[in-house]
Amino acid sequence: MYFLYLCNDFVQRQYDMNDLILRTLQGKKTERPAVWFMRQAGRVLPDYLKLRDLHSFDEIMHTPDLCAQVTLMPVHTIGVDAAILFSDILVVPTAMGANISWTDKGPVFSTPLCQYSDASKQLKPDASKLDYIYRNIDEIKSRISDGTPLIGFCGGPLTTLCYMLQGRSTDNQFNDAVSYIFSNPAETDRLIEALTEMTIEYARNQVKHGVQLFQIFETNAGVLPQNEYIAHFMPAIQRIGQAVKEMGVPVIYFAKSLGLGLQAVTPDMCDFVSIDWQMDFYEARKLVNPAIGLQGNLDPRILFASEEIIQQKLESYRPYWEEHHNWILNLGHGVPPQAPLKSLQFITNYVKRSW
Ligand SMILES: Cc1c2[nH]c(c1CCC(=O)O)Cc1[nH]c(c(CCC(=O)O)c1C)Cc1[nH]c(c(CCC(=O)O)c1C)Cc1[nH]c(c(C)c1CCC(=O)O)C2
């Protein structure tokens, strides 16, 4: 009995230590907004850039010690309220047979699937290829002693499929991928199904290894007409979100440029939605189901502005936060490369000291 009490007490203390973001996601009133930044690990961190001079991205990903170091860097250097697993949304395609090189220009697939009318037959699913990620999670968790929550994540099905089909980033709105999706609807459905199954297994395993909240990155939601996205891709979001929520872990859904399509997001998909910077925050609130909280939506380029301008923008969220509390401070997309680190630090300090 006494042992049980000790265990409970221990769990409770862990929970008390740094649970601001988890309490926010549970809809609780908190002392200040929780803050983290999409793409906070890597990119602008001086220690990361030094590490990248010595090791490739792939090497860091396959070395639990290095991966844990990078994951925890933003907690120490920027002062965010949560760490996000250092990984990439495109690890899921590698577990389906894709061969990816991480080049200076971003990820490049050796065999883009849009050249095959029977693309789904080219897939070679092997979930064990993701085992190294779970070893990374174990290592990260073993190094967190102050209860900082660990965020797990996956790509949304459209974003991931865009890369699988097109094979690389483009500045043309993924024309080849979208043309394929329109020209091969049955094959696209088969690809979505395979991808969703692998993503669910991957998400569940991340939770089993200890991630405490989970974000779905659907950066490319806006490359399709809203009704097409909602009809063909949102059911997969619902399945992934539900699989994670069933395990007791809250879900944040980021669907960039979804626009009015935000109305179609339901509480069985996610607990919070992350709002991009193009959408006015208060307009987004009118569109999103009231049972769902909001994250975002600072324009990432505000990081290049003066502290006065950043402060004004932060203050614009205060009336909402004071009334509703269900808002997580974040950007409307990832930290841009070359963004000044001191702006990120200014935001975390401001919210901790002046809120
Ligand atoms: C579309 C997308 C990708 N990856 C991701 C998305 C969705 C979010 C977004 O839109 O930014 C998500 C992602 N990628 C990475 C993380 C880890 C956590 C974090 O950065 O905070 C996360 C959450 C690491 C990474 N993923 C990548 C790097 C750069 C690797 C390097 O240092 O060379 C990092 C740190 C490579 C990557 N991976 C991807 C691209 C287009 C690139 C190249 C350009 C770039 O984003 O830097 C695909």
CATH code: domain of residue 192:
3.20.20.210
Neighbours of 77 (CB within 10 A): 18
Q: Is 88 a catalytic residue?
A: yes
Question: Ligand 1 centre and the CA of 119: distance in Å?
Answer: 25
Q: Tell which atom from ligand 1 comes closest to the C-alpha of 52.
A: 32
Centre of ligand 1 from the C-alpha of residue 146, in Å = 27
In this prediction, residue 15 carries a pLDDT of: 47
- pLDDT at position 13 over 50: no
What dihedral angle (degrees, nearest 10) is formed by the CA atoms of 172, 176, 181, 182?
80
Domain total in the chain = 1
* Cβ-based neighbour number of residue 106 at 10 Å: 13
Instruction: Note the pLDDT tens digit of each residue in 236-286.
Output: 999 999 999 999 999 999 999 999 999 999 999 999 999 999 999 999 999
pLDDT in tens, 275-329: 999 999 999 999 999 999 999 999 999 999 999 999 999 999 999 999 999 999 9
**What does the pLDDT read at residue 63?**
98
In this prediction, residue 5 carries a pLDDT of: 46
For the chain, percent of residues with pLDDT exceeding 70:
95
| pLDDT digit string, tens, across residues 142-187 | 999 999 999 999 999 999 999 999 999 999 999 999 999 999 999 9
Between 225 and 9, name the one with better pLDDT. 225
Catalytic residue among 48, 163, 229, 253: 163
Looking at residue 17, what is its pLDDT?
77
Question: Mean pLDDT in the chain?
Answer: 95
Enumerate residues 6+ apart whose C-beta is below 8 A from 205. 130, 134
pLDDT digits (tens, 9 = 90+) for 100-146: 999 999 999 999 999 999 999 999 999 999 999 999 999 999 999 99
Stretch 200-213: mean pLDDT: 98
pLDDT in tens, 274-290: 999 999 999 999 999 99
Q: Match 């990903």 to its residue by tokens.
A: 61
**Position of tokens 């220690």?**
47
Catalytic, 285? Answer no
Mutate to test the pocket of ligand 1, among 39, 47, 202 (most ligand atoms within 8 A of CB): 39
Q: Is pLDDT above 50 for 9?
A: no
Residues 6+ apart with CB under 8 A from 331: 37, 38, 277, 296, 297, 298, 299, 300, 303
Mutate to test the pocket of ligand 1, among 47, 58, 77, 89 (most ligand atoms within 8 A of CB): 89
Q: Look at residue 208 and tell me whether its pLDDT is greater than 50.
A: yes
Q: Residues with Cβ < 8 Å from 158, sequence gap 6 or more? A: 218, 220, 221, 223, 224, 229, 233
Residue 8 pLDDT level (bands cut at 50, 70, 90): low
16 is catalytic: no
| 10 CA from centroid of ligand 1 (Å) | 36
- Read off the DSSP letter of residue 335: P
Residues lining ligand 1, judged by CB closer than 6 Å? 39-42, 52, 57, 84, 86-90, 106-107, 153, 159, 169, 217, 219, 334
Domain range for 47? 2-353
The pLDDT of residue 4 is above 60: no
Out of 23, 32, 43, 204, the active site residue is 43
52 is catalytic: yes
